[in-house]
Chains A and B, each alone.
Chain A
Amino acid sequence: GAVVSQHPSRVICKSGTSVKIECRSLDFQATTMFWYRQFPKQSLMLMATSNEGSKATYEQGVEKDKFLINHASLTLSTLTVTSAHPEDSSFYICSTPGQTNTGELFFGEGSRLTVL
C-alpha cells in the first residue's frame, strides 16, 4: 500500500488564528489528495479534492477562502484553516488513491483541531 504521513496529530489554537495541516506521501507520488472532515460521533465528509499543480475543488458548503488547500508537489498537500473558530474544531484527515488506481484510499493519521 501507500504511506501517508499527516502532521500535526493534535493542535489547539485560539479563535482567529490559522492552522496548517500537512500530508506527505512517503513512498509514492500523490497526484490526488482528498481532504475529509469528521465531527465528533459523525462520519467522514469530503471537503475538497486537490490535484498536484492545479486548484482544489471544494464540496458544496465548504468555504474555499477559509480552507486553503495547496498541492504544490507530488509528495506534499496542505490544508490551512484560516481565522479558525470553535465550530471548526474537528478531525481532519487526508487520503490518496496512491498508485493503485483501484479505488482504495490510503489515509493519513488525522489531525485533531481544537479551537478555543
Chain B
Amino acid sequence: GENVEQHPSTLSVQEGDSAVIKCTYSDSASNYFPWYKQELGKRPQLIIDIRSNVGEKKDQRIAVTLNKTAKHFSLHITETQPEDSAVYFCAASIGGNTPLVFGKGTRLSVIA
C-alpha cells in the first residue's frame, strides 16, 4: 500500500521567512496530494491540493509543487505569520472514493 514520508517533523522560522515541508510517496498510482493544517484539538483543514496532471499550484502565500517522476511533493509558505503556526500534514491517495494516507506531520512554529 501507499507510504507517505514527511520531513521535517518540526520547523521553526522567523516571521516573514519562508517555510518548506517535503513529502515523498511510494505508490505511483497516487494522483491526489492535499496538504492540511491542523490546530490543536481541531479537524484538519485543507489548505491546498494538487493533482498529478499539474506540476505546481499557488494560492496567495501558499504553493505546492509535485514531481511525479521522483514521487515527491512540497509545500511552500512565504511571508510566514505567527498564525501559520500549526501542524501540517501531507497526504496522498489514488483519488475517487479512496482514503487518504497521511504523512507524520510537521509542527511549524513562526517566531514573531
Interface residues of A (CB under 8 A from B): 31-32, 34, 42-46, 49, 91, 93, 95, 97, 101-105, 107-110, 112
Contacts and interface: CB of A to CB of B under 8 A. Distances in A.
Interface stretch (B39-47, B58-66, B72-80): B39-47
Contact of B97 (A93, A97, A108, A112): A97
A95 B45 CA distance: 12
Given A103-B32, A103-B98, A110 B49 contact: no
Contacts, number: 59
Report, as a range, how many residues of chain B touch the other chain.
20 to 34
B66 to A, nearest CB: 14
Where chain A touches its partner, the secondary structure class is loop
Given A93-B43, A108-B43, A42 B95 contact: no
Interface in B19-39: 31-32, 34
Given A32-B97, A103-B96, A112 B41 contact: yes
B93 interface: yes
Contacts of A108: 43
Interface of B: 31-32, 34, 41-44, 46, 49, 51, 89, 93-105
A52 B98 CA distance: 15
Contact of B34 (A42, A97, A101, A104): A104
29 contacts: A31-B97, A42-B104, A42-B105, A43-B102, A44-B89, A44-B102, A46-B101, A93-B44, A97-B96, A97-B98, A101-B96, A102-B32, A102-B95, A102-B96, A103-B31, A103-B49, A103-B95, A103-B96, A103-B98, A103-B100, A104-B34, A104-B46, A104-B49, A107-B43, A108-B43, A109-B43, A110-B41, A110-B42, A110-B43
A101 B100 CA distance: 13
A48 B46 CA distance: 21
B61 to A, nearest CB: 21
A59 to B, nearest CB: 9
Contacts of B44: 44, 93, 107
Contacts of B95: 102-103
